[in-house]
Structures are given as C-alpha cells and as structure tokens.
Amino acid sequence: MVGAGLMAGACRKEAAPAPPPPAPAPASAVAFPRAVLRQLPTQALPKLRTMKVWLGTEEMTVELAVTTEQLIAGMMYRTNIEENGGMLFLLGRPTQPTLWSKNCPLALSGAYIDPSGNILELHDFQPDSTNLVAATASNVQYVLETRHGWFEEHHIGVGTPVRTEHGSFAETFTPNRGAAR
C-alpha cells in the first residue's frame, strides 16, 4: 500500500537472534503509480520475514516489505492482522509517499516514519479504497501499517521513536553502517 508514488496493498519466547534484515529496495522501486498498476498482484503474498520493533515502549512484530513485489503487494488481499502485528515498508530512500488500500479488505492505520525512525505522520485507510493518501513530509523512508486504530489505542503519536531488535532504524537499515543486520 505504498508509493511515492508506489501504490500497493497495505496486514515472547527466547529464541536465537533474528537473522539480519534484507537491504531496502532500490530507490528505483519507488516508481510513478501508473507503472505500478500493471504489476498489481491477484492474491496475498505469503507471510514475509518478520522483525520486532518498539514504538516507544509498545512492542510489535512486523513483516518486512523490501522488494519491489513486496512493496507493491503489501497488505493486499490480507484478511487479518495480528493484535500487535503489522507490515513495515522499507522505501529505500527518503521520499513523499502516496498510499492507497486497493484490494485490501481491512481498515488500516499507517505511520509515516523518517530515516532516523521517528513518526512524522499518522493516517487511516479505508478498506479497498483507491483514494490516495499523500504524505505531507518529504522525508518519509519507512511506512508501518497495522490494524485500524492501533496507534490511538496504544497512545502512539507523531514524534514517537521506532526502533528494532537490532537498534535504531539507521543502525538496522543503513547499508555499510556496520550494524545493518
């Protein structure tokens, strides 16, 4: 359910350390929406690789949308989201994304996040809507989608820092930073 204009669908036990996250999709994956329309999926993606993130003190397990296919499909055709689950879209570079919820039967809430991991904006998305929701900020590098109302229920707002099980977003997702896992 992401775009800049990439448009796509938007859905504790001790264990061995999680493997490192994949590198973000290249900036070229963030293409003009018309080009993306030809690539729309016809079914949900299988569950993607997951990672724990913390929004302030709230823990969430998110699937990572990294490849062009994953960014385009996102939450499309998903029929449920775990209570503290979601999908984190790695946009590859700071941008001003435009999102929609086409082919997504769920109502969603989304956080637009800057490169350092701070929430810039929160938006709600109606089920199966082609209404575009553009970011006002031009430095959004990540979008976190979850079930509708999650941010409000957990008192998460603009300015809330988001970090991963590997550290800050910069430490986790910046290539050649030594900690990009």
Quote the CA–CA distance of 91 and 115 in Å, as a whole number: 10
| pLDDT attached to residue 103 | 86
Partnered with residue 59 across adjacent β-strands are: 54
Which distant-in-sequence residues (6+ apart) come within 8 Å of 164 by Cβ?
Answer: 21, 51, 52, 53, 54, 172
Residues 9-32: pLDDT tens digits? 444 334 445 555 555 544 333 333
Closest by alpha carbon to 51, among 62, 35, 67, 66? 62
Determine the CATH number of domain 27-99+118-137+147-173: 2.60.120
Quote the CA–CA distance of 164 and 178 in Å, as a whole number: 15
Residues 41-56: pLDDT tens digits? 677 788 989 999 999 9
